[in-house]
Structure 1
Amino acid sequence: MYNYVTNKQLISGMRSCCGDIMQDLCHTLKEEYDIGATFTLVGSGARNLILQNANEPIDLDYNLKIIRIDDYEDCPYIKECVRKAFNIVLRKHGWRDCEDSKSSLTTEKRYFPRISDTEFSMDVCIVCEDEDGNLYRLIHKKTGYTNVNSIAYAASIYPRLVPRRADNEYYWNMAPNSRDIKFKVDYIKRNGKWELVREQYKSIKNRYLTQNDHNHPSFICYIEAVNNVYNSIKGWK
């Protein structure tokens, strides 16, 4: 089950190490690809939301928000630029290349020998925001077909069995109930109820864990927790 990490020296070390990498990533994206981006550790604006499942490695979940680019609709280009820039930065810091998953870029696991034997890694989710304040995650749905020539040849022989589309699918997926999430966070803080978000966040993460549900990353759990608390406060008033 998930519990909050209490080792302050470990938390400080992870945030410092990974924060430096994310700052370099934003700088590299701007210099190499003219893409403007900012980053946040999920829940970092509120602090103290880093969870660990028993003695398993800790996943630090970052949102990389794209704030300036010529074409927001060119999802394959955005994902590839971020992946390449991330690998440049990771190598600079002595890390191996990242892995490209459906909704994030994941690093290898590291640990601080002098602080703790607890391993940690980074999951970077690429996001953007529309004019109404809704947040979207960039999804890379892998079809498993990568050799275009082989697919074309196979399709010419077995047209009914081979899909016409050879490339992988990339698209922006709106995070449910994500509208005005920053406004809601600020509202909760002003009312001194942030501890309720911490309770909700931990409860939601553990609920999905017991259900063996891996389709709700920390970002989505965080939004759900904030909305639950915000709606309850509004109901009280």
Structure 2
Amino acid sequence: MSKEKHYEFISRKDCQNPLQRTCNIIQLTIKNLKAKGIKSNYYVIGSAGDRNLVTCLVIDGKKQPIDIDINLEVDLHTVPTKYKQLGLLKELIRSEINKAIKECGEKFSDGQNSSSVITSILYDNKKNILFSFDVGIVSRNKKNELQRLVLTKKNNSYTWNVVFGTLNLGEKTKLIKSNEDWQKLRSVYLKFKNKYINDENHPSYVCYKMAVEAVYNQLLQECDELDYEGMFEAIGDVELSRSFEQLNILYQKGFITKPFYRFPEEEQTDSESVCWYFIDTLKDWDDYKRRGIGRGNNDAEAKIRAAYDILRFMLYDDDEEE
């Protein structure tokens, strides 16, 4: 008879101790890797910052021990030649995690090498699991896309699998937060976690990325005035010398946070990137609202309208301030 299982959210308080102990181990691992010339950083999936997306597995109504999910991102440019072979790189990281566990005075099991993560488990005296943590090894490819180190057990080979849709993930998350849609994202994230509960190809980070994409795309459908092409063309039509003059006026009036507007690097000058770069120079919404600038049905729409209003001023000296 198969057991009923699902994920559900847990409070910050319940995961605070396991999370802190895990982070101590990973921080020491990163320090030890740096001593070997390898630069890396880490982030906690589901609980980094103010995400509050930590889940636990529930089987037949009984909550299971907490499992902390970590991404350890390696700068491939710093990996010494002797560790370029992916199997050796993962084994090095596994070894350094085991070393850090002992140096921290913890008694976790040796890291287990699974398909996409390294798993370390803490048992009590009766061999009951207290909690565990999984470390996924990730890096960036030439397109700056996130990729996960994956083991194919059938032929015992390692490869980097691209996690598609991770570009601009931070910007999309900011938009979701500004539109007060975080509860919606929590709901969608939990839905994906449970949908792929038995699928090793959909770890927590992939489910989180999918949730952000789903909520972001829904938000775009609701805000049909996101005319990136039109904004890009408008920005491009402003003469450079005049735009500097107008932007300085905007800066002096306190409309924007930077006196000079700069386009992103050449490889990022698609219309969406340029428009978001422009929008990110804007100031606090509440200030715009008080001025009667950037009206909208929600914060996200108001932000776009504020960008249009300021572009209009740059182009036509049409100051709509009330």
TM class, shorter-length: 0.7 to 0.9
Q: Hey, what does 1:230 align to over in structure 2?
A: 216
| Residue 10 of structure 2 is aligned to residue 5 of structure 1 | yes
Q: Hey, what does 2:134 align to over in structure 1?
A: 123
Q: Hey, what does 1:106 align to over in structure 2?
A: 119
Q: How many residues align?
A: 205
Instruction: Map 1:86-101; keep pairs closer than 5 Å.
Output: 86-93=97-104, 94=106, 95-101=108-114
Alignment gaps of 5+ in structure 2:
1-5, 224-322
1:1-50: CA deviation from partner (whole Å, max 9, x where unpaired): 211112x432211221111111111101111x211000000131343111
Tell me, yes or no, if the aligned pair for 1:30 and 1:36 is still in contact at 8 Å.
yes
Q: Hey, what does 2:96 align to over in structure 1?
A: 85
Q: Hey, what does 2:195 align to over in structure 1?
A: 207
CA distance in 2, matches of 1:215, 1:139: 9
Shift of residue 131, structure 1, vs aligned partner: 4.4
> Relative to 1, partners in 2 of residues 1:133 and 1:181: Cα closer, same or farther, differing over 3 Å?
farther
> Relative to 1, partners in 2 of residues 1:130 and 1:180: Cα closer, same or farther, differing over 3 Å?
farther
Q: Hey, what does 2:153 align to over in structure 1?
A: 142
CA distance in 2, matches of 1:180, 1:130: 15
Q: Hey, what does 2:70 align to over in structure 1?
A: 62
CA distance in 1, matches of 2:203, 2:119: 13
Tell me, yes or no, if the aligned pair for 2:122 and 2:129 is still in contact at 8 Å.
no
Tell me, yes or no, if the aligned pair for 1:91 and 1:97 is still in contact at 8 Å.
no
Q: Which amino acid aligns with 1:87?
A: N
Per the alignment, in what secondary structure is the counterpart of residue 164 of structure 2?
Answer: coil
> Relative to 1, partners in 2 of residues 1:196 and 1:118: Cα closer, same or farther, differing over 3 Å?
farther
Shift of residue 183, structure 1, vs aligned partner: 2.2
CA distance in 1, matches of 2:84, 2:185: 34
CA distance in 2, matches of 1:118, 1:235: 45
Q: Which amino acid aligns with 2:178?
A: R
CA distance in 1, matches of 2:84, 2:216: 32
**16, 23, 26: which is aligned to 1:19?**
23
Tell me, yes or no, if the aligned pair for 2:71 and 2:135 is still in contact at 8 Å.
yes
Q: Hey, what does 1:42 align to over in structure 2?
A: 45
Tell me, yes or no, if the aligned pair for 1:65 and 1:126 is still in contact at 8 Å.
yes
Tell me, yes or no, if the aligned pair for 2:193 and 2:204 is still in contact at 8 Å.
yes
CA distance in 2, matches of 1:142, 1:90: 26
* Higher RCO by CA contacts (8 Å cutoff, separation 6 or greater): 1
Q: Which has the larger radius of gyration?
A: 2
CA distance in 2, matches of 1:35, 1:140: 21
Q: Which amino acid aligns with 1:53?
A: L
> How big is the alpha-carbon RMSD for the aligned residues of Structure 1 and Structure 2?
2.2
Q: Hey, what does 1:165 align to over in structure 2?
A: none
> Relative to 1, partners in 2 of residues 1:23 and 1:236: Cα closer, same or farther, differing over 3 Å?
same
Tell me, yes or no, if the aligned pair for 2:118 and 2:135 is still in contact at 8 Å.
yes
Per the alignment, in what secondary structure is the counterpart of residue 122 of structure 2?
Answer: coil
1:107-139: CA deviation from partner (whole Å, max 9, x where unpaired): 01357xxxxx98321000000123433110001
Normalising by structure 1, report the TM-score: 0.78
Shift of residue 230, structure 1, vs aligned partner: 1.0
Q: Which amino acid aligns with 2:118?
A: L
Higher helix share: 2
Normalising by structure 2, report the TM-score: 0.59
CA distance in 2, matches of 1:81, 1:180: 31
1:153-210: CA deviation from partner (whole Å, max 9, x where unpaired): xxxxxxxxxxxxxxx311100013222222222222232222221111111111223x
**205, 227, 234: which is aligned to 1:219?**
205
